[in-house]
Structure 1
């Protein structure tokens, strides 16, 4: 019998398995991942940002874990020779309303103990000649990294410590008893004293498979990106974000320097027709029927219908997408928006239609399910893992 079984080879599952082996080097541990490689879904399809945590409600778990995670991620990368760049982020205000929102963000950042300072329009022009705005907030601690490289390093740490990593096995059964938990996948099975499930886009399904009562479902939101041509890789020196609308659930389209030297534009946020379908026309009938039969989906669509219509329009009409970018980067053209693979965000939605913005953990005697690990979960993975390990120790 194993001491621990972890389901999920994304960054949260890997960080949890690594921390368990570091806390109990002699424990028997197995990590099960349905894909042939680690970090293939949300972890490997995000923008690679090491977030500082400026946006999040002071005192929230998300704010705390992001602040701790930013430092822990950089330390882990330095320890394991993973390239990262603390390039900083500018949140750019393009009109009077956004200037007012900028002041509220400045106050929130102070409450979250994050270094942020206002930047005048003149200084913004000096720092970013290709960016137009009335002012900005500079977040100097924001960085970029390739989170797939982080995952591979965590996998090496787990294996070198004696943990087992099983790839290419999709879990199809979870049964808990007083003595332990049996996990089955593609004809194989593993028995462990404790189970941790970090299943991301499939987290609600595995919770229900295990008999855990939940009042939410995962709705897939596609984040569609474009990549700028190599000739425009020097268009920005920092990450460039808009000032977000507090009434909307997502941050808006931004310019992101990538650790490979490229620059991406995005993402938007549109309902996905497949939880793990990254090509543009992906469709999975089971996934659609799953959320279409959940009343919370229709309630959240109705509640956010205006922003949903705008996002859909910009997804279908490239000029609309470009217009969002040109608010702060007017030199961009249609030809600059070149193909880039989409990402899919696992958005937990409650039965009443509320979008869940913080973490959800569900616990039984021998199982802990990470039911919702919202952005910035990649940045926060190590302190999330520390919290899970502490919970299991109880």
Structure 2
């Protein structure tokens, strides 16, 4: 049986960044990453919009805001250091009616509170800056960028290996045996002993946490984000990311146009309740995952609290024309047949027992483990400062391993 001082479960960007940070600060510790897939960043990390967020939306002083502000700097610095392609193309948030204009002005103030430098654009100024975008008013945030997070994670994993870390793929965790000062982690074919374990498994976080006999006051509810890609003729339609004004009561940012780092343009995502935690196709269904949601009181309270939003997202999922209506608010020239298939993603959203969406980061820590129970968007942008926070929290335990 192999033994390690620290084991990180999950090779998404947060898990890999955390393992890398441990090896930098505690080079003598033996560190293992366990991943059930055959390569890193196969789920949330590799299936998002690729946006490097600037911190527009988040409550000033919250972990979300602080991590995002630092994460923007750290992500760009990492890309420059390793010659990873990125672009700071900026973001336009576009208001198309009076309610959205009011919310837009609130966002403008929040941008200033989060130390950004937003530019408020009138209708004519918006048309001049982005001729293919319609709106009554907009704000422009120059700091927002784009990158391929799967590429970034792969580069970071290689750095971790060069620092002396280890990674094991094809290791689905099926059981945890807790000992007095360590844990045994079991898959179907192997057993690993670890002095400390960090759970960075995204949509599976609550399920892994229960293997450590933790009593949880939340559950992960999966939301599917469905995207489309536009034909190549639209690759020059926008110079910036184009976002609607979001509903502040929800953690989702609405269907937007995103320049990808390869030059293409995608549309999306919506945010429909998913019938499988890792179900990326339209009608994927997993009975275990559905039972986990249906038996959780918070799930039904969530549905009741956001009935109109849930119904609206379901309609956009079932009908491409309903989806297109959201895009036409600010980009009416796109045709129905021009919404081409593209990969979807699953967002791991922690929901409390009372049905409230947990908006900020949530950690649970024991003597031998730490669980990243909620790492909401912008977790990819914020992965490096999240990793630093995790290592700060477990520094005493790591010192005993040293």
TM-score where L is the length of structure 1: 0.98
Q: Tell me how far 1:358 sits from its aligned partner.
A: 0.7
Q: Tell me how far 1:42 sits from its aligned partner.
A: 0.3
What SS does structure 2 have at the residue aligned with 1:78? helix
Match of 2:245 in 1: 243
- The equivalences for 1:1-394 within 5 A come to 1-394=3-396
Deviation track 1:225-283 (CA, whole Å, cap 9, x = no partner) reads 11000111111110000011213331111000000111000110111111001111111
CA distance in 1, matches of 2:41, 2:292: 24
CA distance in 2, matches of 1:254, 1:160: 38
CA distance in 1, matches of 2:306, 2:25: 44
Note if contact 1:315-1:321 (Cα within 8 Å) is conserved in structure 2.
Answer: yes
CA distance in 2, matches of 1:96, 1:390: 45
CA distance in 1, matches of 2:350, 2:262: 31
CA distance in 2, matches of 1:177, 1:108: 47
What SS does structure 2 have at the residue aligned with 1:175? strand
Deviation track 1:151-209 (CA, whole Å, cap 9, x = no partner) reads 10011011111111000110111223332122111231111211111010100000001
Deviation track 1:291-348 (CA, whole Å, cap 9, x = no partner) reads 1111100010011010111111111111111111000001111022111111110011
CA distance in 2, matches of 1:29, 1:100: 50
What SS does structure 1 have at the residue aligned with 2:134? coil
CA distance in 1, matches of 2:324, 2:199: 39
User: Please, what is the CA RMSD of the aligned residues?
Assistant: 0.9
Match of 2:399 in 1: none
CA distance in 1, matches of 2:84, 2:251: 32
CA distance in 1, matches of 2:293, 2:206: 11
CA distance in 1, matches of 2:275, 2:170: 24
CA distance in 2, matches of 1:336, 1:362: 45
CA distance in 2, matches of 1:248, 1:310: 13
What SS does structure 2 have at the residue aligned with 1:377? coil
Note if contact 1:37-1:167 (Cα within 8 Å) is conserved in structure 2.
Answer: yes
| Structure 2 unpaired stretches of 5+ | 397-402
What SS does structure 2 have at the residue aligned with 1:378? coil
CA distance in 2, matches of 1:224, 1:37: 23
Deviation track 1:55-79 (CA, whole Å, cap 9, x = no partner) reads 0011111111011101100001111
What SS does structure 1 have at the residue aligned with 2:380? helix
What SS does structure 2 have at the residue aligned with 1:371? strand
What SS does structure 2 have at the residue aligned with 1:379? coil
What SS does structure 1 have at the residue aligned with 2:224? strand
CA distance in 2, matches of 1:149, 1:71: 18
CA distance in 2, matches of 1:335, 1:127: 27
CA distance in 2, matches of 1:63, 1:181: 34
What SS does structure 1 have at the residue aligned with 2:381? helix
Q: Tell me how far 1:106 sits from its aligned partner.
A: 0.9
Note if contact 1:248-1:307 (Cα within 8 Å) is conserved in structure 2.
Answer: no
TM-score where L is the length of structure 2: 0.97
Note if contact 1:296-1:349 (Cα within 8 Å) is conserved in structure 2.
Answer: yes
